[in-house]
Amino acid sequence: MAYKAVLFDLLTALIDSWSLWDAVAESREDGRRWRAEYLRITYGEGRYRPYEVLVREAAVATGLPARRADELAARYGELRPWPDAARALGGLRVPLGVVTNCSEALARVAVGCTGVDFAVTVSAERAGWYKPRPEPYRLALAELGTAPEETLFVAGSAYDLFGAAGAGMTVFWHDRVGMAMPEGAPTPLVRSETLLQLPGLVAS
């Protein structure tokens, strides 16, 4: 089907935030462990608690100094989109939005790093809930004015497979880093290491 809008996970599907976490942690191994623990905490959280607190808790849980969370927030302006993001999004001729599990302030910084003028940006802070709860996805759909079945969701984290599909959207999983498929996760329409298939899917 031809979709009328596309929603994106911001920090994993569109942006290579992994590299920044690795840099702040001062090693790839520590960065990946920290990020994995953050994802586990965040996606099990439900109602919004300050994003920066969750990042700090994940750092401490993985043996990193709590100050790494403050350093990460301070360096958010260094975030960069995946190399093929500009080409893929430039080929889309429908309204675009993001649904992200971070604070409102950091969401604005991260969106600014993409160079994309999104019609809608929904942070977990503004929605009052963390993904994969349905509230952030539903708020984005309401602000776009599109029905779930008319909207394609581009997931970065495997956890978005549950949330976006549960909200009634078809999911394109941009699995850039080779995550494990969680047990019981809905099967995405596409699982790809790149974003370059997006324009063809949306226009088809």
* pLDDT tens-place string over residues 141-176: 999 999 999 999 999 988 899 999 999 999 999 998
Mean pLDDT along residues 95-123: 96
**What integer pLDDT is reported at residue 37 of this predicted model?**
94
State what percent of residues in the chain have pLDDT above 70: 99
**What integer pLDDT is reported at residue 136 of this predicted model?**
97
State what percent of residues in the chain have pLDDT above 90: 88
- Please name the residue that has the structure tokens 């596309």: 6
**What integer pLDDT is reported at residue 159 of this predicted model?**
87
**What integer pLDDT is reported at residue 177 of this predicted model?**
83
**What integer pLDDT is reported at residue 164 of this predicted model?**
95
Mean pLDDT along residues 5-18: 96
As a whole number, the mean pLDDT across the chain is 94
**What integer pLDDT is reported at residue 44 of this predicted model?**
86
Q: Which one has a higher pLDDT value, 110 or 42? A: 110
Flag whether pLDDT at 180 surpasses 90.
Answer: no
| Contacts within 8 Å (CB) and 24+ apart, 113-117 | 113/15, 113/76, 113/77, 113/78, 113/79, 113/80, 113/81, 114/10, 114/14, 114/15, 114/81, 114/85, 115/81, 115/86, 116/14, 116/89
Residues near 168 by Cβ (< 8 Å), separated by ≥ 6? 147, 148, 149
Distance, C-alpha 22 to centroid of its chain = 17
Flag whether pLDDT at 204 surpasses 80.
Answer: no
CA distance 142 to 204: 24
Distance, C-alpha 195 to centroid of its chain = 14
Domains and CATH numbers, the chain: 5-16+79-203 (3.40.50.1000), 17-77 (no CATH)
Beta bridge partners of 154: 8, 172
Mean pLDDT along residues 186-198: 94
Instruction: Band the pLDDT of 108: cuts 50, 70, 90.
Output: very high
**What integer pLDDT is reported at residue 1 of this predicted model?**
66
Q: In this predicted model, what pLDDT tens digit does every residue of 37-84 receive, in sequence order?
A: 998 898 889 999 999 999 999 999 999 999 999 999 999 999 999 999
